[in-house]
Structure 1
Amino acid sequence: MEKIKFMSEDTAEEVDFFVLEQTKISGTSYILVTDSEDEDAECLILKDISKTDDVESTYVIVEDDTELSVVSKVFEELLEDIDIER
Protein backbone atom coordinates (compact mmCIF):
# COMPACT_ATOMS: atom_id res chain seq x y z
CA MET A 1 0.00 0.00 0.00
CA GLU A 2 1.44 3.37 -1.00
CA LYS A 3 1.96 5.86 1.83
CA ILE A 4 1.76 9.58 1.06
CA LYS A 5 2.16 12.73 3.13
CA PHE A 6 -0.32 15.57 3.19
CA MET A 7 0.12 19.01 4.68
CA SER A 8 -2.89 20.05 6.73
CA GLU A 9 -3.94 23.63 6.03
CA ASP A 10 -5.54 23.91 9.48
CA THR A 11 -2.59 22.79 11.58
CA ALA A 12 0.31 23.10 9.08
CA GLU A 13 1.35 19.59 10.15
CA GLU A 14 2.17 16.63 7.94
CA VAL A 15 -0.33 13.79 7.98
CA ASP A 16 0.40 10.33 6.57
CA PHE A 17 -2.23 8.42 4.61
CA PHE A 18 -2.24 5.08 2.84
CA VAL A 19 -3.73 5.11 -0.65
CA LEU A 20 -6.20 2.27 -1.16
CA GLU A 21 -7.36 3.21 -4.66
CA GLN A 22 -7.63 6.07 -7.12
CA THR A 23 -10.06 6.85 -9.90
CA LYS A 24 -11.10 9.59 -12.29
CA ILE A 25 -14.76 10.53 -12.75
CA SER A 26 -15.80 13.13 -15.32
CA GLY A 27 -12.23 14.42 -15.49
CA THR A 28 -11.84 14.80 -11.72
CA SER A 29 -9.33 12.64 -9.81
CA TYR A 30 -10.28 11.04 -6.50
CA ILE A 31 -8.28 8.94 -4.05
CA LEU A 32 -9.49 6.67 -1.29
CA VAL A 33 -7.14 6.93 1.68
CA THR A 34 -6.90 5.59 5.21
CA ASP A 35 -4.81 6.62 8.19
CA SER A 36 -4.01 3.02 9.16
CA GLU A 37 -3.36 -0.35 7.56
CA ASP A 38 -5.78 -1.99 10.03
CA GLU A 39 -8.78 -3.82 8.62
CA ASP A 40 -11.41 -1.57 10.26
CA ALA A 41 -9.63 1.72 9.60
CA GLU A 42 -11.38 5.00 8.87
CA CYS A 43 -11.32 6.04 5.20
CA LEU A 44 -11.58 9.38 3.46
CA ILE A 45 -12.31 10.20 -0.14
CA LEU A 46 -10.18 13.07 -1.34
CA LYS A 47 -10.78 15.13 -4.47
CA ASP A 48 -7.94 16.67 -6.48
CA ILE A 49 -8.71 20.38 -7.00
CA SER A 50 -5.32 21.23 -8.50
CA LYS A 51 -5.01 23.22 -11.66
CA THR A 52 -3.11 21.60 -14.54
CA ASP A 53 -0.12 23.93 -14.13
CA ASP A 54 0.19 23.47 -10.33
CA VAL A 55 3.48 21.96 -9.17
CA GLU A 56 1.88 20.12 -6.24
CA SER A 57 -1.53 18.50 -6.01
CA THR A 58 -4.18 19.97 -3.75
CA TYR A 59 -6.78 17.64 -2.26
CA VAL A 60 -9.92 18.32 -0.26
CA ILE A 61 -12.15 15.90 1.63
CA VAL A 62 -15.34 15.11 -0.30
CA GLU A 63 -18.18 16.28 1.94
CA ASP A 64 -21.07 16.72 -0.49
CA ASP A 65 -23.44 13.79 0.19
CA THR A 66 -24.37 13.23 -3.46
CA GLU A 67 -20.78 13.34 -4.69
CA LEU A 68 -19.65 11.15 -1.77
CA SER A 69 -22.31 8.55 -2.58
CA VAL A 70 -21.39 8.38 -6.27
CA VAL A 71 -17.64 8.21 -5.70
CA SER A 72 -17.87 5.68 -2.85
CA LYS A 73 -19.92 3.34 -5.09
CA VAL A 74 -17.18 3.51 -7.73
CA PHE A 75 -14.53 2.67 -5.12
CA GLU A 76 -16.64 -0.22 -3.81
CA GLU A 77 -16.79 -1.64 -7.35
CA LEU A 78 -13.04 -1.20 -7.83
CA LEU A 79 -12.27 -2.81 -4.48
CA GLU A 80 -14.65 -5.73 -4.39
CA ASP A 81 -13.64 -6.81 -0.87
CA ILE A 82 -14.22 -3.39 0.72
CA ASP A 83 -17.51 -2.02 2.03
CA ILE A 84 -17.55 1.74 2.53
CA GLU A 85 -19.88 2.94 5.27
CA ARG A 86 -21.15 6.50 4.85
Structure 2
Amino acid sequence: MEKIKFTFEDAGESVEFFVLEQTKLNGSVYILVTDSQEDDAECLILKETASKEDGESIYEVVEDDTELLAVSKLFEELLEDVDIEI
Protein backbone atom coordinates (compact mmCIF):
# COMPACT_ATOMS: atom_id res chain seq x y z
CA MET A 1 0.00 0.00 0.00
CA GLU A 2 1.43 3.35 -1.04
CA LYS A 3 2.08 5.90 1.70
CA ILE A 4 2.05 9.60 0.87
CA LYS A 5 2.69 12.76 2.86
CA PHE A 6 0.20 15.63 2.90
CA THR A 7 1.08 19.11 4.06
CA PHE A 8 -1.74 21.27 5.35
CA GLU A 9 -0.94 24.78 4.12
CA ASP A 10 -3.02 26.60 6.71
CA ALA A 11 -1.41 24.79 9.66
CA GLY A 12 1.97 24.07 8.08
CA GLU A 13 1.99 20.52 9.44
CA SER A 14 2.44 17.24 7.57
CA VAL A 15 0.51 13.99 7.94
CA GLU A 16 1.13 10.64 6.27
CA PHE A 17 -1.73 8.64 4.79
CA PHE A 18 -2.01 5.25 3.13
CA VAL A 19 -3.65 5.40 -0.30
CA LEU A 20 -6.27 2.68 -0.60
CA GLU A 21 -7.54 3.50 -4.10
CA GLN A 22 -7.68 6.20 -6.76
CA THR A 23 -10.42 6.81 -9.32
CA LYS A 24 -11.88 9.39 -11.70
CA LEU A 25 -15.48 10.56 -11.76
CA ASN A 26 -16.83 13.25 -14.08
CA GLY A 27 -13.29 14.30 -15.00
CA SER A 28 -12.13 14.74 -11.38
CA VAL A 29 -9.50 12.59 -9.64
CA TYR A 30 -10.35 11.21 -6.18
CA ILE A 31 -8.25 9.22 -3.72
CA LEU A 32 -9.37 7.19 -0.73
CA VAL A 33 -6.84 7.49 2.10
CA THR A 34 -6.52 6.23 5.66
CA ASP A 35 -4.14 6.96 8.52
CA SER A 36 -3.92 3.29 9.57
CA GLN A 37 -3.70 -0.14 7.96
CA GLU A 38 -5.89 -1.64 10.70
CA ASP A 39 -9.47 -2.84 10.14
CA ASP A 40 -12.17 -0.27 10.91
CA ALA A 41 -9.78 2.63 10.27
CA GLU A 42 -10.96 6.16 9.62
CA CYS A 43 -10.72 7.20 5.99
CA LEU A 44 -11.02 10.37 3.93
CA ILE A 45 -12.01 10.93 0.34
CA LEU A 46 -9.86 13.63 -1.22
CA LYS A 47 -10.43 15.41 -4.53
CA GLU A 48 -7.56 16.70 -6.65
CA THR A 49 -8.14 20.41 -7.19
CA ALA A 50 -4.90 21.32 -8.98
CA SER A 51 -1.61 19.85 -10.12
CA LYS A 52 1.64 21.78 -9.88
CA GLU A 53 4.36 21.70 -12.53
CA ASP A 54 6.69 19.83 -10.15
CA GLY A 55 4.32 16.83 -10.12
CA GLU A 56 2.72 17.55 -6.75
CA SER A 57 -1.06 17.58 -6.56
CA ILE A 58 -3.31 19.70 -4.38
CA TYR A 59 -6.19 17.86 -2.70
CA GLU A 60 -9.20 18.92 -0.65
CA VAL A 61 -11.42 16.79 1.56
CA VAL A 62 -14.75 16.07 -0.13
CA GLU A 63 -17.46 17.63 2.05
CA ASP A 64 -20.44 17.90 -0.31
CA ASP A 65 -22.86 15.13 0.75
CA THR A 66 -24.03 14.27 -2.78
CA GLU A 67 -20.49 14.11 -4.16
CA LEU A 68 -19.28 12.16 -1.12
CA LEU A 69 -22.04 9.55 -1.47
CA ALA A 70 -21.39 9.05 -5.20
CA VAL A 71 -17.63 8.69 -4.80
CA SER A 72 -17.88 6.44 -1.72
CA LYS A 73 -20.17 4.04 -3.61
CA LEU A 74 -17.65 3.97 -6.47
CA PHE A 75 -14.80 3.16 -4.06
CA GLU A 76 -16.89 0.40 -2.44
CA GLU A 77 -17.40 -1.19 -5.87
CA LEU A 78 -13.69 -0.94 -6.71
CA LEU A 79 -12.53 -2.40 -3.40
CA GLU A 80 -15.33 -5.00 -3.00
CA ASP A 81 -14.42 -5.91 0.61
CA VAL A 82 -14.68 -2.34 1.98
CA ASP A 83 -17.73 -0.67 3.49
CA ILE A 84 -17.53 3.10 3.74
CA GLU A 85 -19.75 4.69 6.36
CA ILE A 86 -20.50 8.35 5.86
Aligned to 1:7: 7
Using the TM superposition, give the Cα deviation of residue 11 of structure 1 relative to its aligned residue in structure 2, in angstroms.
1.6
Aligned-residue CA RMSD in angstroms? 0.9
Using the TM superposition, give the Cα deviation of residue 10 of structure 1 relative to its aligned residue in structure 2, in angstroms.
2.7
TM-score scaled by length of structure 1: 0.94
TM-score scaled by length of structure 2: 0.94
Residues 18-66 of structure 1: CA deviation (Å, up to 9, x unaligned): 0000000111000000001111110000000005xx2221000000000
Aligned to 1:43: 43
Using the TM superposition, give the Cα deviation of residue 3 of structure 1 relative to its aligned residue in structure 2, in angstroms.
0.2
Q: Distance in 2 between matches of 1:48 and 1:12?
A: 19
Aligned to 1:28: 28
Q: Distance in 1 between matches of 2:28 and 2:19?
A: 17
Segment of structure 1 superposing worse, 34-43 or 5-14: 5-14
**Does 2:64 match 1:64?**
yes
Identify unmatched segments of 5+ residues in structure 1: none
Equivalences, count: 84
1:83 partner SS: coil
Identify unmatched segments of 5+ residues in structure 2: none
Moved over 3 A (4+): none
Share of identical aligned residues, percent? Answer: 68
Q: Distance in 2 between matches of 1:39 and 1:77?
A: 18
Task: Report which of the two has the higher share of strand.
Answer: 2
Q: Distance in 2 between matches of 1:41 and 1:83?
A: 11
